[in-house]
Structure 1
Amino acid sequence: MGQEKPVHSHILSDLEVSGLEEENYIDLPSVFTQPEIPVKKENIPQQRELQKWTYLEQVRLPFIKAEIGLLIGANAHKAIEPWQVIHSQGDGLYVVRTAIGWIVNGPTRREDELQYTVQSFTANRISVASIEELLIQHYNSDFSERSCEDKTEMSQEDRKFLQSVEQSAQLINGHYYISLPFKTKSVKMPNNRTVAEQRATKLKKKLIKNPEFQTDYNAFMQDVISKDYAAKVSIENLWCKDGEVWYIPYHGVYHPKKKKIRVVFDCTATYQGVSLNNQLLQGPDLTNTLVGVLTRRRLERRARRVQNGCTHLWGYFLPKLCLFCLEKDSRRWKR
């Protein structure tokens, strides 16, 4: 925001917004998180700043003592739909009443009263870059395996993640269990129950409005419970020490083509700047890119790759994607 470079961001869904004096909640589209927003609290217009324009007497702005934490774009058109417009007079302001309150348009202070913290913005333009940088970006987008070859060795966090998995991995009743790879052992999580309850209330409304969605959702959750993927938590376990409980919001989505529902447990949901995902180690990226596999397939009659003591052979006909695996110290072929 304000510059062109890769940043770490999360996508938040199922958020709602309303005015301070309104009871009507409006759904927001997917929201992207940012470490900071280039707007300060001083940019919030105050009621006293509108007194010099008599034609704005009916406008009442609530006093807000908080930092700006959300920017609403044009894709949330229901939230900023104009209900009433008070046109400007002379060099004055014009204001628009929306579902979430009044929007003030125009400078409320003189230029010498404003403190600019962001000197430049970028919008709909190509950053000043050399031809060589653009060529490298284009090359890496077409041949992504080249980018993988340029990766450095595993970081200390990646090594810590693998060590945590090796020490905690257990095989119980045919299922593997590992401990959550927290970045620190003394992790403290804020109580995000209000966020989870709000998301659950919205989900309940959606289930009531859509019986078909409710039926598919219940069937999916029953399947999860019957396979012991989830278990009921006793009330005693809910009253853990402060900072040891985290509620995960969830919602259901349909596959765009198969019309098959899948329940998404939103571990990226943020509360007070904290989410479960950003408290966990990500681990090393051990995935081979499909472009690299298909490109190396052209080198010989059969492609051969050895990894973790296991030899993989691809068949003659690549579209069939017949993968054979010959385990180490074994003479049996597994398909």
Structure 2
Amino acid sequence: MPILYKTKLGYILGGGMIPAMGTIKTNTLCAVSEQLQKFWEQEEVKFDEKTDQQTEDECERIFIQTTERTTDGKFVVNIPFSENVTELGESRSTALKRFTMLDKKLLHDEQLSDQYEAFMHEYENLGHMSEIHEYDSSEGYYLPHHAVIKHSSVTTKLRTVFDGSAATSSGLSLNDVQLKGPVVQSDLLDILLRFRKYQYVFSADVEKMYRQILINPKQRKYQKIL
């Protein structure tokens, strides 16, 4: 008869079986080893190998050689473009089409329209964007934009997303012509471990953090919106 054994890993069943009359059904525990292997693979700390050290080094070089600071201490950086930035095609027609779709949506939702308009006014009043009067529609890049609503957010329920992945007439997007730099933030596992290391933890949010970093005025043509 099978016996229930108590082990450090829990109870296990072992012992002989008396075959019953009729068809004998047997079960296998082979799947246990597979599940255990998956468990250890999932829990294993993985270290990502750098795939393109040359690209990361080039990004760092651009940052070191071109970054400046304004009189009030803000950083002015260059976009780390790759050599194929000249292959960007026409983008205004796509941005206009997306804006027309957005406008139709806002016409049917007055509350969303007011929130979106308030966001754009704030963006301009803070000096994070400015109106241009003379421009070449074939030069630079137009960023399509749309609203994302998150009702569960305590602070900002509406966020505007500027889409740098929208393809131009050449098939390339703004994201496609930028070099990919190294990951500078801490790994998620490191952050979780630090949370368990100390008795007290402080969490803070830098308001509009990414907007505090300015783009070289000569490259602002690559961040136009309608």
TM-score (norm 1): 0.44
Q: Which runs of 5+ in 1 are unaligned?
A: 1-130, 304-315, 324-335
- Could you say which residue in structure 2 is the equivalent of 1:44? none
Residues 1:260 and 2:157 aligned together? yes
Candidates 269, 289, 303, aligned match of 2:166: 269
- Could you say which residue in structure 2 is the equivalent of 1:212? 111
- Could you say which residue in structure 1 is the equivalent of 2:141? 246
Residues 1:317 and 2:211 aligned together? no
1:105-145 deviation per Cα after TM superposition (whole angstroms, max 9, x unaligned)? xxxxxxxxxxxxxxxxxxxxxxxxxx88x947x545445xx
Candidates 121, 133, 141, aligned match of 1:234: 133
Cα RMSD, aligned residues only = 2.9
- Could you say which residue in structure 2 is the equivalent of 1:283? 181
CA distance in 1, matches of 2:37, 2:103: 50
CA distance in 2, matches of 1:191, 1:211: 32
Contact (CA 8 Å) 1:140, 1:147: kept in 2 or not?
no
SS at match of 2:46: helix
List 4+ stretches of structure 1 deviating above 4 A: 138-141
Candidates 88, 94, 102, aligned match of 1:203: 102
Instruction: Tell me the CA shift for residue 169 of structure 1.
Output: 1.2
Return closer, same or farther for 1:200/1:186 CA change in 2, 3 Å cut-off.
closer
Q: Which runs of 5+ in 2 are unaligned?
A: 1-32, 205-226
Contact (CA 8 Å) 1:208, 1:214: kept in 2 or not?
yes
Question: What one-letter code is carried by the residue in structure 1 that aligns with 2:140?
Answer: V
CA distance in 1, matches of 2:195, 2:100: 51
Contact (CA 8 Å) 2:84, 2:177: kept in 1 or not?
no
Instruction: Tell me the CA shift for residue 263 of structure 1.
Output: 0.6
Instruction: Tell me the CA shift for residue 186 of structure 1.
Output: 5.7
CA distance in 2, matches of 1:233, 1:154: 38
CA distance in 2, matches of 1:188, 1:154: 22
Q: Output aligned runs, 1:93-242, within 5 Å.
A: 135=37, 139=40, 141-143=42-44, 146-148=45-47, 150-152=48-50, 155-172=53-70, 173-184=72-83, 187-235=86-134, 238-239=135-136
Instruction: Tell me the CA shift for residue 217 of structure 1.
Output: 0.5
CA distance in 1, matches of 2:195, 2:51: 25
1:65-91 deviation per Cα after TM superposition (whole angstroms, max 9, x unaligned)? xxxxxxxxxxxxxxxxxxxxxxxxxxx
Return closer, same or farther for 1:215/1:141 CA change in 2, 3 Å cut-off.
farther
Q: How many residues in Structure 1 have an aligned counterpart in Structure 2?
A: 167
Structure number with greater CO (CA < 8 Å, separation at least 6) is: 2
CA distance in 2, matches of 1:199, 1:179: 27
Contact (CA 8 Å) 1:161, 1:283: kept in 2 or not?
yes
SS at match of 1:220: helix
Return closer, same or farther for 1:140/1:284 CA change in 2, 3 Å cut-off.
farther
- Higher helix fraction: Structure 1 or Structure 2? 2
CA distance in 2, matches of 1:196, 1:297: 43
TM-score (norm 2): 0.64
Contact (CA 8 Å) 2:87, 2:172: kept in 1 or not?
no
CA distance in 2, matches of 1:322, 1:178: 27
Question: What one-letter code is carried by the residue in structure 1 that aligns with 2:192?
Answer: L
Question: What one-letter code is carried by the residue in structure 2 that aligns with 1:187?
Answer: T
SS at match of 2:161: strand
Question: What one-letter code is carried by the residue in structure 1 that aligns with 2:68?
Answer: Q
CA distance in 1, matches of 2:192, 2:55: 31
Contact (CA 8 Å) 1:154, 1:284: kept in 2 or not?
no
